[in-house]
Amino acid sequence: MKTTFSMLGTWEPKRLKIADIAREAGVSQVTIYNYFGSKEALISESFKDFIQQGIHEFREEMRQQKSLKELIAYCIHKEKETYSHLPPAVIKEIVVDNQEMYQYIQQQYEAHIRPLMVQMVEEGQARGEITGKVSVRAVLLAIQIYMKSTGEMLDSQAAHEDSEAFVEELIHIFFYGLCGREPQ
């Protein structure tokens, strides 16, 4: 599965063959078919494993009692990592064009990701990192809008002279808007 996921960074899923995966992984094609049944199932299971690993890693980040800003920065950097490994067209083919995978991600979002995000926002409010003027629902919507724009933001970041400084600017805009911090 790790080999398959790695290969998806440079191969289109439609062009990827079991023979290529088996050769790269150092296993027989029969072994792959015995475990997964098809190339599509192998790709699907590899991507599901990636999703599960991401949820686990985010949960671990939250256990470390990081600030809201650190957690949002972590999410942005993870998105950057994902898009630098998997081209957007591959993600679209695996996630958007595959109804089963899309439903799986929606289930994972509702069961695991959304509750973690609610917890993150509530903890941020309790620590005074988020104003009491906004609801958890509004913060989650703002985060969703931001994350949906990740592809465009990462494209802009790649063209920026100092990409890390650019990410910091985006994080600043997310937290403080265009006018800086609101007076206390």
Cβ neighbour number for residue 113 with a 10 Å cutoff: 17
Distance in angstroms (rounded) separating the CA atoms of residues 88 and 149: 12
- Give the residue with greater pLDDT, 149 vs 11: 11
Domain boundaries, given as residue ranges, for the chain = 40-176
pLDDT, one tens digit per residue, over 122-176 is: 998 999 888 888 898 998 888 788 777 766 776 676 677 777 777 778 777 777 7
Banded pLDDT at 58 (limits 50, 70, 90): very high
Q: Which amino acid does the sequence have at 154?
A: L
Nearest Cα to Cα of residue 4 among 150, 33, 36, 16: 16
Rounded mean pLDDT of 89-102?
A: 83
**DSSP string computed for 71-116:** HHHHHHHHHHHHHHHS-HHHHIIIIIS-HHHHHHHHHHIIIIIHHH
The CATH code of the domain at 40-176 is 1.10.357
Do 113 and 55 touch, CB atoms closer than 8 A?
yes
Distance in angstroms (rounded) separating the CA atoms of residues 174 and 153: 12
- Could you give the count of Cα atoms lying within 13 Å of 4 in the half-sphere of its Cβ? 26
Rounded mean pLDDT of 33-37?
A: 94
pTM greater than the 0.95 cutoff? no
Pair of tokens at residue 123: 């903890």
Do 137 and 118 touch, CB atoms closer than 8 A?
no
49 pLDDT more than 90: yes
Q: What is the largest CA-CA distance in the chain?
A: 65
Cβ neighbour number for residue 147 with a 10 Å cutoff: 14
Q: What is the pLDDT of residue 75?
A: 85
Q: Which amino acid does the sequence have at 143?
A: I
182 pLDDT more than 60: no
39 pLDDT more than 60: yes
